[in-house]
Amino acid sequence: YPTAQILDEAGIPLILVGKAEGVTNGGILGRITEVSEHFVTLEVAANVAIRVQRLQVAQLMPKGTLKTS
């Protein structure tokens, strides 16, 4: 990803909301749908979303990773 992106405090590029996927420290993979002050919402299945602390997002994954796993 380009380095000129605006990052939130957890290092999540805000431009990736809805366009990328992330993995939590617990191993849960989901599409990033919302980033708030303290939480990230991950869509882990159709109509199933979870909220985790932003610092618990361990790694950003390329779009499409969720479909291939």
Tokens found for residue 37: 């002050």
Q: What is the pLDDT of residues 8-21, one digit of tens each?
A: 555 665 666 667 88
pLDDT grade for 57, boundaries at 50, 70 and 90? confident
- pTM (two decimals): 0.72
Q: How far is CA 67 from CA 37, 45, 62, in A?
A: 28, 10, 11
Residue entry with tokens 């909301």 = 17
Q: What is the pLDDT of residues 18-34, one digit of tens each?
A: 678 889 999 999 998 88
Predicted local confidence at residue 24, as pLDDT: 92
pLDDT of 3 over the 70 cut: no
